[in-house]
Structure 1
Amino acid sequence: MSLLCAARFDTPCRIAVQHDADALHAHLELPDGLEMGPGDRIKVHGDPVIVPFGQSVTIDRTATVEVAGPLRRAWTHVIAYFDMAELYEVSFSSGRLA
């Protein structure tokens, strides 16, 4: 276990995207029992999700979860205290898994 990253693994996930007059948002769901903590990172694999106006879509994908180690978790608490960053990081990658 390193100080920055305690574990890294792939898991299935579900992305729900809504794009209409009421909302434009994306929600990422992980499998039951898998919770994110401060400093954790998620990278969702696959092509970009494009949703035309007035529609919503739900897509199943694979994500790589990187659990924060003790140093990254502590640093995230410090910067979140001063409201300088989000507690979690989610990014998307295009293309296939390596």
Structure 2
Amino acid sequence: MGLLTKEVERHPCQVEVSHCFDSLHAHVKFTDGTVINPGDEVIVKGPEIMAPYGEVVVEDREAVIFRASKLEQLWTRMTGDFEFMELCEFSFSEDVKL
């Protein structure tokens, strides 16, 4: 992998989709121990997984990983903290009067 080139890899994975009162999530776990790096993109192949309310659905799938170039990895590491700050909401006012 060079400074500007991308690699495409295929790996087996397990997808867990939960639609319960306590948890609403979807997780992907690579069954062969693959590690995702900053800037990598992952696409899970197959039809949409719909978990009925109160259930957890687990399926084995194949994932395609588009590896980020060295330059993209560096950029993601440098700018990642700024993008995280977009998720935060701050208020510095003392009193709000309507």
Aligned to 2:55: 55
Question: Percent of counterpart pairs with the same letter?
Answer: 35
Bigger Rg over Cα: 2
Task: Say what the alpha-carbon RMSD is for the aligned residues.
Answer: 1.5
Q: Which ranges of 4 or more aligned residues in structure 1 deviate by more than 2 Å?
A: none
Q: Please, which runs of 5 or more residues in structure 2 have no aligned partner?
A: 85-98
Q: Is 1:12 equivalent to 2:16 in the alignment?
A: no
Aligned to 1:24: 24
Deviations 1:3-35 (A, max 9, x none): 152x21111110011111101001100123311
Aligned length: 83
TM-score by length of 2: 0.77
Equivalence map 1:13-92=2 (5 Å): 13-82=13-82, 84=83
Partners of 1:13 and 1:60 within 8 A in 2:
yes
TM-score by length of 1: 0.77
Aligned to 2:87: none
Q: Please, which runs of 5 or more residues in structure 1 have no aligned partner?
A: 86-98
- The structure that is helix-richer by fraction is 2
